[in-house]
Amino acid sequence: MNDSTFAIPASAEQLERAAAALQNRGFAVEILDDVATARIRLKSLIPAGASVFTGASQTLRESGIDSDINSGSRYDAIRPRVLAADRATEADTIRKLTATPDYVVNSVAAVTETGSLVLASGTGSQLPASAGGAAHAIWIVGAQKVVPDLTTALRRVEEHSLPLESKRTMAAYGSPSIVSRLLVLNRELIPGRGTVLLLREVIGF
């Protein structure tokens, strides 16, 4: 059962604190009203023709961003190529495609008011690009994912995000989700590489 307190959207003050802390740690941050604004903003952040890998994110699915990137012809979309590849014979190709795109677009399980991003994964396959493999990373984050600190962020993963994702995977695949990999991003060292789009609305897990 998930902890519903982690579904409450952050206040304007909490969003501002998180944004300021992230900026102090080298991330570019924009606070946007809603997903519709984020979808428009992404088009100006990612040039046409760029290779783009999207994470397996409920935020991206709900928002339409996944479809925008992977169903259109504007970008060199990596995910459709990966899904079409043979995992038995093209494992190395898949690994390289997902690890080093021009852009990775994803969400996070939590963002802290102290300036950290927390990503969780069952297989780890979508983490290398965010960790540093992609030339540019963009994370779209719903207002309910802002938490005070890293300890609370890890609780949010286990007590909120994982139960909801397990419910989704049980319905889709007949098996629960797991958290076998955690990635904590505390600082962005390359100017302009990492961008966080903080939304004032709730979306995703």
- The predicted model gives 63-87 an average pLDDT of 95
Q: Give strand ranges (E) for 8-130.
A: 28-32, 51-54, 76-77, 103-106, 110-112, 117-121
CA 86 vs. chain centroid, Å, equals: 25
What are the pLDDT digits (tens) for 23-40?
Answer: 999 999 999 999 999 999
Query: Mean pLDDT across the chain, nearest whole number?
Result: 96
Q: Which two three-digit tokens encode residue 97? A: 């495609």
CA 30 vs. chain centroid, Å, equals: 15
Instruction: Give buried/exposed letters for 71-90 (b at 16+ CB in 10 A, else e).
Output: eeeebbbbbebbeeeeeeee
Assigned domain for 116 exists: yes
Per the structure, the complete domain to which residue 139 belongs is given by 4-199
- The predicted model gives 159-180 an average pLDDT of 95
- Amino acid identity of residue 123, one-letter, is T
Cβ within 8 Å of residue 136, ≥6 positions away: 46, 102, 103, 104, 192, 193, 194, 195
CA-based radius of gyration for the chain: 16
Assigned domain for 205 exists: no
- Number of structural domains in the chain: 1
CATH number, position 123:
3.40.50.10420
